[in-house]
Amino acid sequence: MRSGLSLITFALLCGQSLAQDIVIYGGTPGGIASAISAARLGREVTLVEYHDHIGGMTTSGLGKSDIENRAMIGGIFKEFVAGVREHYVTKYGPEHEHTKLCQDGYYAEPHVAEKVFEAMIAKVPKITVWKGWRLKSAHTVENKLRDITVLNRRNGDEKRLEAKIFVDATYEGDLYAAAGAKFRLGRESREEFDEPHAGVVYFDYQAHEFLPGTTGKGDDALPAYTYRLCLTKDPANAARMTEPPPGYDRRDYLGYFDDLKEGRLAGPKVFKPGRGYNPKHFDTLVRALSVADIPNNKCDVNINPRPLGFPFPEENRGYIEGDETTRERIRQRHRSLVLGLLWFLQNDPEVPEAHRALANEMHPPKDEFTDNAHFPWQLYVREGRRLIGEYTLTQHDITGKGQQPKHHADSIAVGEFPIDSFPCRKRQPGDTLVLEGYLGMLDYITRPYEIPYRIMIPEKIDGLIVPVAASTTHVAFSSIRMEPTWMALGQAAGAAAHLAIQNEVEPRQVPTEALQNLLLKQGQVIRHAKH
């Protein structure tokens, strides 16, 4: 990141608008990869982020890179992983326990991940980062995005940013919605794309069978949101809760006792390589908290969707289309729910003593999220809007039934994570096994698959590339929604933006072969197999 006052920043501080090469809205890992990719190719890039921190979920509690086949993701993501490993090796030595727990750089403490991202950006002088700004509006003329207006969240300052190419790297798809691009919100029906797992679905994730209540009907429901927790097991670093969070209501968690009684808190004792979860928790808290060890006596804690008492489905209603006040209310509600669950497991006298003891080993760390009361700043938006682009990625693109999935001539990245969707509905009368909408790690049908460039290109809006909330169905999105994959798509978006400017064409007109060759030179993996 350039030091001092850039020309862009100076102009904006003077109340001017300045045309530049590329503006990226969203400092997610996908947005960071876009910025680095384009800037290394000589483009002036401004990266605008809502929060006061960059890195999205990777720096906000998601301590493990969700990736099943490491050979399928290369490029800038691999550089990030290498940077994480280098941090721990430099600080502790190659044989230290903390270094081993970083899993060759795939596991990291949140502040370490942020440090690595910041260092990667700092090495590229053509990137200017704006933190703490939110989108107010987008200006589209004759179906081309021309400029955006952003607001400073601290003081209300308003600035207009022009660019030759824009990149929407938000989880929500906010920029392209403001620009007038078409999108989907919610689940397609089974019939729309002939997807077996689409729509309203009850699915036995162990027996791999559809259950009664499955209709396949489309609706407006989205997978549950949470916050991803980073907790410490070091008493000296523990910021212990001394009282329940604001809004705590014990009734939100009473389903836990039914789960306990029916044996739903015990899990299958099958541990697949790379998943990272501690077997110690499988007979106790795994169905409430999935815990993976990361360096420095910390753990990545995922709020697990498998208990029927899971409290969070439908709590995200209104978030995506809501105004700033609505979104903040929903964020605070989720903060209360997540901290409330931890408080409940640690303190409720009816929770079995062994469970309480295990939960009391883990607390928010004093050295993480120091400007946010040791709590993550990024809500885990597992799915927001999904672009309607030149191509829609579906379940048929990512599954192979023993065969390789589809080959795409314009493939620019490879996806490799299983279909994995959180529940969409709270517990309904008669639910005894799974919550509606849960599709748990369907790795037996998902294969490494090629991702076409066209899913990042809006149907009609020019001047815009979308690497995160891209054009997929709900089912396909449940696989593609992983930060390593989004970094690969972000890298492709940055390279495509460069080529569009270089060739004086719109992103949809970028020569596919030129883009693929450029990505290959950058270490990107673009094929799941040889053709």
CATH of the domain at 67: 3.50.50.60
Is position 293 within any domain? yes
Q: Are 261 and 331 in the same domain?
A: yes
* pLDDT-derived band at 49, boundaries 50, 70, 90: very high
Q: Are 16 and 157 in the same domain?
A: yes
Q: Are 245 and 168 in the same domain?
A: no
* pLDDT-derived band at 285, boundaries 50, 70, 90: low
Q: Are 502 and 433 in the same domain?
A: yes
Q: Are 17 and 159 in the same domain?
A: yes
Instruction: Report the pLDDT value the prediction gives residue 406, as an integer from 0 to 100.
Output: 87
- Tell whether the model's pLDDT for residue 287 goes beyond 70: no
- Tell whether the model's pLDDT for residue 478 goes beyond 50: yes
Q: Are 348 and 415 in the same domain?
A: no
Sign of CA dihedral 67, 71, 75, 80: positive
- Tell whether the model's pLDDT for residue 113 goes beyond 70: yes
Residue predicted with more confidence, 463 or 7: 463
Instruction: Report the pLDDT value the prediction gives residue 3, as an integer from 0 to 100.
Output: 38
- Tell whether the model's pLDDT for residue 185 goes beyond 80: yes
The backbone torsions φ and ψ at residue 89, rounded to the nearest 5 degrees and listed phi first, read -65, -45
According to DSSP, residue 363 is labeled B
On average, the pLDDT of the chain sits at: 92
- Tell whether the model's pLDDT for residue 273 goes beyond 60: no
Is position 370 within any domain? no
Is position 428 within any domain? yes
* pLDDT-derived band at 447, boundaries 50, 70, 90: confident
- Tell whether the model's pLDDT for residue 5 goes beyond 50: no
Angle at 309 between CA 382 and CA 319, to 5 degrees: 35
Q: Are 326 and 439 in the same domain?
A: no
Of 340, 359, 378, which closes a domain?
359
Of 307, 341, 359, which closes a domain?
359
Q: Are 355 and 400 in the same domain?
A: no
Q: Which of the listed ranges 278-287, 440-449, 473-482 does the model predict with the highest average pLDDT?
A: 473-482
**Which of these, 358, 333, 329, 183, lies nearest to 265 by C-alpha position?**
358
**Per-residue pLDDT tens digits for 146-176:** 999 999 999 999 999 999 999 999 999 999 9
Q: Are 345 and 401 in the same domain?
A: no
Is the Cβ–Cβ distance between 132 and 52 less than 8 Å? yes
| Residue 169, domain extent | 7-184+392-521
Q: Are 29 and 175 in the same domain?
A: yes
Q: Are 434 and 484 in the same domain?
A: yes
- Tell whether the model's pLDDT for residue 346 goes beyond 50: yes
Alpha carbon of residue 61 to chain centroid: 11
Instruction: Report the pLDDT value the prediction gives residue 134, as an integer from 0 to 100.
Output: 98
**Per-residue pLDDT tens digits for 240-270:** 999 999 999 999 999 989 888 888 776 554 5
**Which of these, 159, 179, 161, 160, lies nearest to 170 by C-alpha position?**
179
pTM of the shown model = 0.94
Is position 368 within any domain? no
| Residues paired with residue 24 on neighbouring β-strands, in sequence order | 47, 167
Is position 206 within any domain? no
* pLDDT-derived band at 485, boundaries 50, 70, 90: very high
The angle, 0 to 180 degrees and rounded to 10, between the axes of the packed helices 483-503 and 75-92 is 130
Domain count, the chain: 2
CA atoms lying within 13 Å on the CB side of residue 368: 33
**Per-residue pLDDT tens digits for 380-423:** 999 999 999 999 999 999 997 667 788 999 999 999 999 999 99
Residue 98: in which H helix or E strand, if any?
helix 97-101
Instruction: Report the pLDDT value the prediction gives residue 16, as an integer from 0 to 100.
Output: 52
Residue percentage of the chain with pLDDT more than 90: 80
d(CA 432, CA 480): 29
Residue predicted with more confidence, 222 or 442: 222
- Tell whether the model's pLDDT for residue 445 goes beyond 60: yes
| Cα distances (angstroms) measured from residue 147 to each of 140, 316, 351, 390, 435 | 7, 30, 54, 23, 43
Instruction: Report the pLDDT value the prediction gives residue 291, as an integer from 0 to 100.
Output: 85
| Cα distances (angstroms) measured from residue 86 to each of 60, 82, 443 | 20, 6, 31
Residue percentage of the chain with pLDDT more than 70: 91
Is the Cβ–Cβ distance between 177 and 385 less than 8 Å? yes
Instruction: Report the pLDDT value the prediction gives residue 531, as an integer from 0 to 100.
Output: 45
d(CA 463, CA 107): 36
Q: Are 233 and 306 in the same domain?
A: yes
Instruction: Report the pLDDT value the prediction gives residue 126, as an integer from 0 to 100.
Output: 95
Is position 115 within any domain? yes
Is position 405 within any domain? yes
Is position 63 within any domain? yes
